[in-house]
Amino acid sequence: MPGFLLKRILQSLVLLLIVSVIGFVVLNLLPGGPLAQFGLDSSITQADLDRLREQLGLNRPLYVQYLDWAWRLLQGDWGHSFRDGAPVLEVIARHLWATFLLMGSSTIIAVSIGAWIGIRSATHRGSTFDYAATVGAMIALSIPTFWFGLVGIYVFSLKLGWLPAGNMYTIGDETVLDYLHHLILPSIVLALVHVAIWSRYMRSATLDVMNQDFVKTARAKGLSERRILMKHVVGNALLPMVTLAGIQLPSVLTGALVTETVFTWPGMGRLFLDSLGYSDYPVVMGLLMFSAILVIASNLIADIAVALIDPRIRLA
């Protein structure tokens, strides 16, 4: 187990290196750059722009900039935002919880509803429920998230007036209830696709397990169907789901990013789009590294969780 951990962490570091190189190169492919935001400002002259470029170190060769950035990162210095001069980690941390709130609530919705639909579909294979779940999941997977958000706003905010059109809270009314009220629409929008994904995977995992010999053994023992489902099927079917949860994280992040733009949610997604718009390299790179670390860490945690649950790995 420690050997396995060490190996995974080393692999992760290599992955991070790859991610950072890809990110840095792609980012610097963008013409323009962080100073473009002043291009229209009548009072900033080319001389000022040249001065700033030099001060920010943007006139150095790309590899020097990368090495400098990477070296600082290794020392724990994520750099400072070009836009507000704040340390990148602090900038990210300030947007973190809004995103986590959204991702968390939608994940809870997605996992609980998705798992329920998936198990029910598998145990009622071929039923109307199964069929409806299959069709529903595929349609849900086909709806563009941002469009679903727009339609949601149109129906529930503009027409019915039940739910707010955006934002995380009403200024002056920052009660838990108020937050929840604002959370409903975006988290449902974000959850939609993932309910579909979870239900599909849960269904096939459950079916896989149900076809295994040990389920037959359990039946031959005279166990009740309920016990077979709860003790033998669900446990084994959830095992690959843990891994899936890790793998799904980037897509949840992407979804959160899109959802945040539609619902003007002050999270990392919006920070990302804004920073990209301003070519705030340190923040964009920071966000990339952060999300990559998040993804890698969650995969690692998923693997460890699987290892802890699965005696074949835990004790091997």
Residues 99-118 that bind another protein (CB under 8 A): none
List phi, psi (to 5°) of 121: -60, -45
CA angle 299, 116, 305 (to 5 degrees): 25
Spatial neighbors of 103 by CB under 8 A, at least 6 apart, are 190, 252, 253, 256
Smallest distance, Å, CB 10 to another protein?
8
Q: Which pair of tokens denotes residue 298?
A: 């969650």
Say which amino acid occupies 172.
Answer: G
Smallest distance, Å, CB 116 to another protein?
21
Would you say how long the chain is, in residues?
316
Figure out which of the listed residues 76, 126, 177, 226 binds another protein, where binding follows CB under 8 A: 126
Figure out which of the listed residues 109, 115, 153, 241 binds another protein, where binding follows CB under 8 A: 153
Smallest distance, Å, CB 303 to another protein?
13
Q: Which pair of tokens denotes residue 272?
A: 């990302």
Q: Per-residue string for binding with another protein, 182-221, x by CB under 8 A?
A: -----------------------------xxxx-xxxxxx
Figure out which of the listed residues 67, 68, 72, 94 binds another protein, where binding follows CB under 8 A: 94
Smallest distance, Å, CB 195 to another protein?
15
- Under a CB-based contact definition with an 8 Å cutoff, are residues 234 and 212 in contact? no
Q: Which stretch binds another protein (CB under 8 A): 4-12, 62-70, 110-118, 182-190?
A: 4-12
Smallest distance, Å, CB 206 to another protein?
14
Smallest distance, Å, CB 84 to another protein?
4
Q: Quick one: CA dihedral 185, 190, 193, 199, positive or negative?
A: negative
Q: Which pair of tokens denotes residue 152?
A: 């949601």
Measure the CA–CA gap between 283 and 78, rounded to whole angstroms. 8
| Residue 234 near another protein by CB under 8 A | no
Figure out which of the listed residues 162, 170, 230, 308 binds another protein, where binding follows CB under 8 A: 170
Measuring CA to CA, which residue among 273, 258, 266 is closest to residue 149? 258
| Residue 300 near another protein by CB under 8 A | no
| Residue 236 near another protein by CB under 8 A | yes
Figure out which of the listed residues 68, 167, 230, 301 binds another protein, where binding follows CB under 8 A: 167
| Residue 292 near another protein by CB under 8 A | yes
Say which amino acid occupies 44.
Answer: I
Number of H helices, E strands in the chain: 13, 0
Q: Which stretch binds another protein (CB under 8 A): 65-73, 105-113, 151-159, 176-184?
A: 151-159
Measure the CA–CA gap between 307 and 147, rounded to whole angstroms. 39
- Under a CB-based contact definition with an 8 Å cutoff, are residues 202 and 118 in contact? yes
Measure the CA–CA gap between 63 and 57, rounded to whole angstroms. 12
Q: Per-residue string for binding with another protein, 251-290, x by CB under 8 A?
A: x-xx--xx--xx-x-xx--xxxxx-xxxx--------x--
Region 11-70 residues binding another protein, contact defined as CB under 8 A: 11, 14-15, 18-19, 22-23, 26-27, 29-49, 51-52, 55-56
